[in-house]
Structure 1
Amino acid sequence: MERERGRGGPPRWWRQGPPWAGDRDDEERRAHWPWPSTLLVTAFVLLGSHFAAHQQHGDRVPLDTFARVLLVVAGGLLLWRKRHPAAVAFGTAAATLVYLGAGYPYGPVFLTVAVACFSAILSGHRWAAWASVGLLWAGHVLIAHWLYRGLPPSGDTAAPWGQELAVAAWVVAVAAVAELARARREQWARERAERARAARRRADEERLRIARELHDVLAHSISVINVQAGVGLALLDTDPEQARQALTTIKAQSKEALGEVRQVLDTLRAPGDAPRAPAPGLDRLPELVEQASRTGLTVDVDGTAPPLAPGTDLAAFRIVQEALTNVVRHSQSRRARVRLGHDGRALRLRIDDDGPASGADAGGSGNGLAGMRERAAALGGTIEAGPRPDGGWRVLAELPLKVKEDR
């Protein structure tokens, strides 16, 4: 018995229903057996019918063993209302109809049909609920107005039609309340599902943003480190001083990359924590120029940018950073030009190099151009990248100065 009880809970037969009803099917074992409510309803029906029999003494057949069996069956069927709601709805209606046809007193036996109908509608078996209560009402009309002469009690008269209207109103009211509860439950389920989808969507967008930031930071820094490492290896024996400068550049670049990666990963901390450093923007363009110069790339900057929103400023900085990184990786040109312009509506970026392509692989992932396009598209902007007619490569980006907010 102790093994059946487990730790700190009721015995297994209480949680899962009778032993003969539960151990064959995993889904049945998981289903909830509504023992307490079933016992409560059955006890109320038995007790209420007992008092109703005293009130209707001489008008209806007194309660006997068969009547009590019918009441227990009608109440006991409710134990299966969560597993077989349609069958329980018809079963309780049939048991109640037999009870009424036998001439037993009117009373709370109708409560079993109401509970079964309510449960069937909530579980989606609406046709079964409406059909069962319709069957009960039609059967009651048939018994009370046509079959009463051949059924107990003897000497019974036809029921008034006003009573039938009252029964019909009762049936419709029970079904309507159940339909309202079902509609509310479905609405709550849709709202929960929508909130869950929105949360997943926000999480996916945040992961994409973090992945894009990490790609841009690491791609640029690793490309610079790759170039400087090659310079250091090539000059290690012939020009130690130049090799030392290359190693110094590698150290500075790796330190900066670690700081930016830490800043990106700070967003994964607990909600509500503020980032430790502001996001980079075009005000750090001189740093990009200096970093590029350490790799032997000369960058000429022309034009200025207007005040930008933080998201646009970050996207512009990353686009220029990625474009210069691609020059370092894939171009033999040692000079690049960055031009900034705007017309009050959009910020325009143009990054050119004279090429030709080096054909070397600097360890990139190949996602740089896709990342730039994603950044621009997220703000409602555009990116164009491709070879120039006179050789070299050009990146054109247009970012709106006023970004529409999501509603």
Structure 2
Amino acid sequence: MSRQMLPGALLQEPGSKRTARDWLVDVLMTLIALTVGVLVYTESEQAHSDFEDLIDLTLGVTSLIALWWRRRWPGAIGILITAASAFSAFSAGAALIALFNVALRGTRRQIITVTAVGIAGGIVYTVMYPTEDDVPLAIELAFAVLITLVVVPWGLFTRTQRDLVHTERDRAKKAEAEQLAHVEAAREAERRRIAGEMHDVLAHRLSLLSVHAGALEFRPDATPAEISEAAGVIRATATEALRDLRDVIGVLRTSDGVTAPPQPTLDAIPALVEESRAAGMHVRARIEASGGEVMVGRTAYRVVQEGLTNARKHAPAAAVEVTVGPSDASLVVEVVSRKSALAPEAGPGGSGLIGLTERVALAGGSLEHGPNRRGDFVLRAVLPWT
């Protein structure tokens, strides 16, 4: 219902039809034009011959009908009606509406042309049909010109107000579009953050589960004690995976006011290495840094975690060397898998390494990965360190 009370042109929609307000305005304008035309015609009827009366009424009715197309062709309709008003008193009301309409919708050239025709038409009509009152002709001419010079600025003022409404509406649409884009970008960033946290936290635990489950599968001759020990490690690892999953969910709920549990940092790397050793990996570690800035420590932990996870996936029998230590104003984190080559998934196309590259960049560092001259796969991060 509210849309129907707006002008169809204001909606700015392709193929928009006349609204209820447009129909109401059309009827009202026609009634005003008819009323003014009848009053002016009655005032000057005695100065007309029968033939002039016929011409006057014919032009007046034509002008009233032409008002229907004033929105589509404001300039042409304005010239037609104002020219007709020079010879037809019955067209006077329609001429006022046409002048207002061309000021509201016409181009600058159309406004100037129709204004000039309106002034000329008023002068011609006043000279042809002067009133019988004792009013000087000069005053009548001035009044005829003044009417045009009042109606046109009124239409221009209304046009300015309508343009302001258009501008505010466009701004509102632009702001709404920007807000939607911002919300969508925030959602996409949140999805990426969820994917990164899930990969970083769970990939390590699940790879441990895979190693122990595989050992049980390919060791049918294992003793009950060995089976019991492997089952215990699987249970403990599954428990840790569930705890890590709860940690991730806690991180994602921080926007709702839930305090997230502390994330692992630099000091948790030794425990991470021990977990891998317990899973049967051959890991040598040299960790010569502790504490530090939280984001840097957390990123260093993720680098070591990703390196151990990839080594476990693609080279489970290879020896792994983990080095974490300061170098000048940087912290160097390096995971070297002593193997000639790794599966393609461990290369630059891996989603884990892509996410890790972004994480390291956010911390202000750089990440390199790939085989060295000896064929060992090296994952090396350089992070800011003070």
Q: TM-score, normalising length from structure 1?
A: 0.69
Q: Equivalent residue for 2:24?
A: 39
Whether the aligned pair in 1 keeps the contact of 2:44 and 2:129 (CA below 8 Å) is no
1:58 match: secondary structure: helix
Whether the aligned pair in 2 keeps the contact of 1:45 and 1:109 (CA below 8 Å) is no
Higher helix share: 2
Mapped partners of 1:264, 1:274: distance in 2: 12
> Aligned to 2:35, which of 45, 50, 53?
50
- Residues 124-174 of structure 1 deviation map (CA, whole Å, 9 limit, x = unaligned): xxxx555654453243134235x5489778999755655554445334433
Counterpart of 2:322 in structure 1: which amino acid? R
- Bigger-Rg structure (1/2): 2
Q: Equivalent residue for 2:115?
A: 137
Mapped partners of 2:366, 2:224: distance in 1: 46
1:216 match: secondary structure: helix
Mapped partners of 1:219, 1:112: distance in 2: 76
Whether the aligned pair in 1 keeps the contact of 2:34 and 2:93 (CA below 8 Å) is yes
Mapped partners of 2:107, 2:252: distance in 1: 51
Mapped partners of 2:186, 2:311: distance in 1: 34
CA shift, 1:255, in A, is 2.6
Q: Equivalent residue for 1:392?
A: 376
CA shift, 1:50, in A, is 2.8
Which shows bigger deviation, 167-176 or 211-220? 167-176
Q: Equivalent residue for 1:198?
A: 182
Mapped partners of 2:334, 2:21: distance in 1: 74
CA shift, 1:316, in A, is 2.9
Counterpart of 1:256 in structure 2: which amino acid? E
Mapped partners of 2:222, 2:166: distance in 1: 83
Unaligned runs of 5+ in 1: 1-8, 16-26, 79-84, 121-127, 403-407
Q: Equivalent residue for 2:324?
A: 339
> Is 1:217–2:201 an aligned residue pair?
yes
> Is 1:255–2:239 an aligned residue pair?
yes
Q: Equivalent residue for 2:10?
A: none
Mapped partners of 1:264, 1:151: distance in 2: 91
Whether the aligned pair in 1 keeps the contact of 2:82 and 2:121 (CA below 8 Å) is no
2:323 match: secondary structure: strand
Counterpart of 1:339 in structure 2: which amino acid? V
Counterpart of 2:119 in structure 1: which amino acid? V
Percent identity at matched positions? 23
CA shift, 1:288, in A, is 1.4
- Residues 319-359 of structure 1 deviation map (CA, whole Å, 9 limit, x = unaligned): 22111111212233233223132655x54322233334465
1:6-405 to 2 correspondences below 5 Å? 28=15, 31=16, 33-40=18-25, 42-43=27-28, 46-47=31-32, 50=35, 54=39, 58=43, 67=60, 70-71=63-64, 74=67, 87=72, 89-90=74-75, 93=78, 97=82, 100-101=85-86, 102-104=88-90, 110=96, 130=108, 133-145=111-123, 148=125, 158=141, 164-265=148-249, 271-274=255-258, 276-297=260-281, 298-310=283-295, 312-331=296-315, 332-341=317-326, 343=328, 346-357=330-341, 366-400=350-384
- Residues 247-294 of structure 1 deviation map (CA, whole Å, 9 limit, x = unaligned): 222222223223333443456669524255333333432331232112
Change beyond 3 A, Cα 1:94–1:384: same
Where in structure 1 do 4 or more consecutive aligned residues deviate above 6 Å?
59-66, 149-157
Whether the aligned pair in 1 keeps the contact of 2:37 and 2:92 (CA below 8 Å) is yes
Whether the aligned pair in 2 keeps the contact of 1:92 and 1:113 (CA below 8 Å) is no
Mapped partners of 1:213, 1:201: distance in 2: 18
Q: Equivalent residue for 2:9?
A: none
Q: Equivalent residue for 1:18?
A: none
Count of matched residue positions in the alignment of Structure 1 and Structure 2: 358
CA shift, 1:383, in A, is 0.5
Which shows bigger deviation, 190-199 or 168-177? 168-177
Unaligned runs of 5+ in 2: 6-13
Mapped partners of 1:210, 1:371: distance in 2: 11
Counterpart of 1:232 in structure 2: which amino acid? L
Mapped partners of 1:96, 1:151: distance in 2: 18
Whether the aligned pair in 2 keeps the contact of 1:232 and 1:244 (CA below 8 Å) is no
Q: TM-score, normalising length from structure 2?
A: 0.72
Mapped partners of 2:320, 2:298: distance in 1: 24
Mapped partners of 1:92, 1:314: distance in 2: 75
Whether the aligned pair in 1 keeps the contact of 2:40 and 2:89 (CA below 8 Å) is no
Change beyond 3 A, Cα 1:322–1:384: same
